[in-house]
Chain A
Amino acid sequence: MKKKLYIDLSMIMQVNYMTGVQRVVQEVTLRLLKNDAFSVILICYNSENENFKIIDNNKFYDFFANHIGTKGQCYTQKSLGFHELKTGAVFLDMDNTWNCRLGRSYLYPILRKTGIQIVNFVHDILPVTDPQYSHENTVMHFIGYIGAVIEYSSHVCFSANADADAFSKLCSQLEMPMPSYSVIPLGCDLKVKEYTDPETLPKDDDGNILPEYRHLVVQQEVIDAVGAGKYLLMIGTVEPRKNHRIVIDALDAGLDINVIIVGKMGWNTGELRKRIINHPFYNTKLFMLNKVNDAGINYLYQNAYLLAFPTFNEGFGLPMVEAFQHGTPVIASDIPVLREVGGGFADYFDNTDCNALVEYVKECQKNPEYYNTKKELLKKYKPASWDDFSEKMSVVLLSESKEKGQVPQVVIKQMVVLTARHEDIMKSLPFIEAYMPFIKELVVCCPEWNVEPFKENYKGNLKLIFRTDDQLLNGRPLPDDHQARNFFLRCMIMGLDILDDVFIMTDDDYRPMQLMTQEVFLKDGRYQSYYFYDLKEWQGTYNNYSSFDSGAFRTRDFLESQGYPTYQYSSHQPQVIDKRIFCEMLETHKGIENNPYDEWSTYFNFGIYHHPDLFKPCPNVSMCWPGKLTSWNLYHIPGIFLFENYYAEMYEEGNIFEGFSQEYYDGIDSENQEKAFLFRKAIEQQFDERKVFDSYSRFYFDQEGEYPAMIIHIDPKTQTLELHAPDYIQFQHDCWTRVPVVITEEVYKKYVGKVLKVSYHFRNTLDVPVLNSPEIEIQTGDLKLMLPVRSPKTRIKQGSMLFQAKIKEPEQPLAEGETPVPNPPLVVSAKRISLILT
């Protein structure tokens, strides 16, 4: 099976130049495309659509390897959301992506959430260690990039040990563990070849060489500069770090050789450029060439007397090894990374002393034997090739790729339930026995008084094993909070020796709805982990915060503090648990069991972070979660309903499942299908209604440049309660739509101990009320909520919506017989909004 590999080419596709970093990206990508072990997907950030564009592999190869076509032609029409990369695949980030608008501190947490392994090639960390040589904007971007690499990378590659050492030092300064790493020296097999005679190349009607062949011809300005005499070559972007200044100083101090500077003009080089252009030797002994093609670079290397490399610091020093390969001796800065890469093949000098350079060149010219010995030595130089480099990279990538699941084949036969109401689980068990035939054994954790009635009343075929709460707790007190109790008990269960390594955890009211195999839980070697939301977007159950919600918020904070993914796995359906991984979590986060966390989200996000190869996040397959569709906006519509989260009230008169059987009987399948149909219809309706509001929101954004929201705030100038609302709003007739409401902290600070109530009133074009909402009390401290708004049934197309916020004194509880005291609002703020109904 091929390993899936995403390569981000956002920068190389954007820029028109080819520096050392771009060369690495190009050479490795071209080779990985031809490597059968990988299924490579080339991607490029698309800021307009907030996703990745997919690049055509063949066209990319043609353009970068054979100069056929254009970069623009490489893009396909396909795109990929940041969340849509395949779990277990590798995301290879080699380019200088700190310059990409899609910051890595934003992207990497998303990738890790979906179980993607991130492999980085860190070329250097100079913006941190030597920030004076980088543009300040580069340092700003680089901090976010390198921090994200340290936090989220699975494996980091460096081109030299000196870079790995600097990175390791940074990690220890940050008190962060060093990620696993490899040192892979860059390849440098430039194609050294005879130059093409321009006369032999195809030309257009005007006699100009066709664009795709121009890179084969050495440009005339290069030939002229080379022809001017023996020269010292400098290659690389012109920027302060490269220390071109010292070579010009040497020229002024009597350097007796021509100087050719090649490279694009970089940051902060205005002064240097002026100095070069105004130099008395300019274009006689001192040459500056930009935009030199590959043939020209080869020609310059081959004919150079020496390569000067006086850089202050480097990640690798590619020009040095390229010069070696051309048999050109090198005089380089005496710094650790160049000593490591150049070894005995180069000579070194103090890069702050221009006279040292003058003397060295003089010595070489005076002593041709020494110079020729150097040239002879270079014949023995064997550079690492790009093939070698790519081979080593692919070994790293294969070891990091965890696309193929690694859960050994297991037979799941055990189900574990926590219950305090044996009647409920007793009603669910016939469903489990009928539809989950692979379950043979039920471990029941319950209060002691539940055990006997359970045994007496159970007539099924499952082997029952009981563990009482007292046995689980072993003297430890049970927390009062519902969420804390659940989490604590489930953590305690992991200590039971009767548990299988892999089992199904359930609650007493989760009922399967159709026949299934264990593949629902363990497929292709991966634990299927069912989520129903992202905790980062969770806003709580509407107007009814419970222990579940506060547990969810605390879990979100915990997961974020650990850098773990944040999907919400309390999907109210059975889930598969690997006891060993659960215990690993308890071991890693000692004392975690004493917190009121959501047990499902904590376990699965821990598992996915640490074992992305073993888990697969999947959208939930549970029906009736939530039971009331107004409780929250659904995150997605489940593709299939395999389980029902049973609520007795849904079967009561007037409710969605009125008349359906609440108990199992042979042939209930058709009822289950019908229930699934009804529930799906209800949630699809909710989605359709939301679509109207979503499309209005997008339209409003296009027109007004902002997304619509009701905002309750304190005007900083007048210090009064203000209500900001969109100028117009659109709903579907007769439906519930959730409208974003934002309350600023200042409102609560100004009106401490008071109650905030909102209401909305629909009026037709004649200002006649058509629907008035009750006053809805906002939970103190809510800063953002999605307020369910009921739109009118009437057939009007237009009208207005009056949105109102009131601050009131809290209502006092009335004693019996006491008449309520009027409680007039302290402040009212209202806003009239044009209404469109569709």
Chain B
Amino acid sequence: MEKNIYEKIFDISNENMQKSGNRFAHPKSAFLCYAELDPHKVDLIELSKVEADNSEFLDIAYINLLNRPVDPDAYQSWKKHFNMPEWQFRTLVIQRLVSSKEATVCHKRIYNNIFVRKKLSAKKDSLKSKAMEKLLPVYRRLPEKIKAPIRKLAGGN
């Protein structure tokens, strides 16, 4: 595939960096991620599918969700998870970053979140379903004459 302009600029910068006897600490994918970044939203399904190894993915996830590359301290603490299977590592990173306070401050709109379940709603839901579980057997035992107006009241046919 033909390289885009940002990839070519990275290659030139990288070459100049190496000529000076230095190396970039972050992978190429982190550099290119900035050029393709939507500053306001992140689609977690797309993010979870980027072609990258676990170390590269970490940077990409940080940039997408927190608008910055991973810092050295955080990198060290993530390093111990690098041997995890890819999907497990990605799920973990996304879950942690999405739930972090820093992500809240970043005002990023999150789309297609199949990774983080929200406890609050789950709690509400389970309360509701518990109530229904208790009421339904009572309802079922009622005679049809009483059932019909209740159904109507509840909006049924």
Interface set of A (CB-CB < 8 Å, partner B):
47-48, 50, 101-103, 105-106, 127-132, 136-137, 139-141, 143-144, 146-148, 150-151, 170, 173-174, 176, 701, 703-707, 709, 711, 713, 716-717, 722, 724, 727-728, 742, 744-745, 764-770, 792, 794-797, 799, 834
Contacts and interface: CB of A to CB of B under 8 A. Distances in A.
Given A707-B111, A765-B154, A768-B154, A147 B45 contact: no
A764 B87 contact: no
Contact of A792 (B17, B122, B155): B155
A705 B44 CA distance: 12
Given A106-B39, A140-B34, A727-B118, A128 B69 contact: no
Contacts of A727: 118, 121-122, 124-125
B9 A130 contact: no
25 contacts: A47-B107, A103-B34, A127-B13, A131-B22, A132-B22, A136-B25, A139-B13, A143-B31, A143-B34, A146-B9, A147-B6, A701-B110, A705-B116, A706-B110, A706-B113, A711-B45, A722-B114, A728-B121, A728-B125, A744-B45, A766-B136, A768-B157, A795-B155, A796-B156, A799-B155
Given A144-B35, A767-B136, A794 B155 contact: yes
Which 7 pairs of residues, A with B, have the shortest CB-CB distance?
Answer: A796-B155, A716-B87, A727-B121, A144-B35, A768-B156, A794-B155, A706-B113
B89 to A, nearest CB: 11
Contact of B151 (A48, A101, A768): A768
A141 B25 CA distance: 15
B121 A704 contact: yes
A173 B40 contact: no
A202 to B, nearest CB: 41
Contacts of B9: 128, 143, 146-147, 170, 174
Contact of A144 (B34, B44, B109, B156): B34
B36 interface: yes
Nearest to A174: B8
Nearest to B24: A136
Nearest to A100: B39
Contact of A140 (B69, B122, B124): B69
Contacts of A705: 98, 103-104, 110, 113, 116, 118
Contacts of B35: 103, 105, 143-144, 147-148
B96 to A, nearest CB: 14
A795 B154 CA distance: 8
B30 A706 contact: no
Interface in B13-55: 13-14, 16-17, 20-22, 24-26, 30-32, 34-40, 44-45, 49
Contact of A709 (B13, B111, B154): B111
A333 B36 CA distance: 38
B82 interface: no
Contact of A765 (B20, B45, B132): B132
A395 B107 CA distance: 40
Contacts of B103: 705
B37 A106 contact: yes
Contact of A717 (B32, B39, B87, B124): B87
B5 interface: yes
B121 A141 contact: no
A152 to B, nearest CB: 10
Contacts of A765: 132, 154
Interface string B92-124: 000000100001100101111110101011101
B5 A151 contact: yes
A458 B76 CA distance: 81
A176 B26 CA distance: 27
Interface centre among B6, B36, B120 (most CB of A within 10 A): B6
A279 to B, nearest CB: 27
Given A144-B37, A724-B114, A139 B24 contact: yes
A103 B128 contact: no
Contacts of A834: 124-125, 128
Nearest to B98: A705
A103 B154 contact: no
Contacts of A50: 39-40
Contacts of A132: 16-17, 20-22
Contacts of A713: 45, 114
A128 B12 contact: yes
Contacts of B17: 131-132
A704 B118 contact: yes
A792 B157 CA distance: 11
B41 to A, nearest CB: 8
Given A103-B37, A105-B35, 5 more contacts: A103-B35, A132-B16, A706-B110, A716-B88, A769-B156
A128 B13 contact: yes
Nearest to B121: A727
A140 B136 CA distance: 59
Given A150-B5, A706-B111, A47 B155 contact: no
A767 B128 CA distance: 13
A176 B5 contact: yes
Contacts of A129: 16
A174 B104 CA distance: 38
Nearest to B10: A143
A47 B49 CA distance: 26
A799 B154 CA distance: 9
B109 A701 contact: yes
A103 B67 CA distance: 11
Contacts of B34: 103, 105, 140-141, 143-144
A711 B113 CA distance: 9
Contacts of A744: 45, 49
Interface string B64-102: 000111000000000000000001100100000010000
Nearest to A130: B16
A150 B104 CA distance: 34
Contacts of B139: 766
A770 B156 contact: yes
Contact of B6 (A105, A717, A769): A105
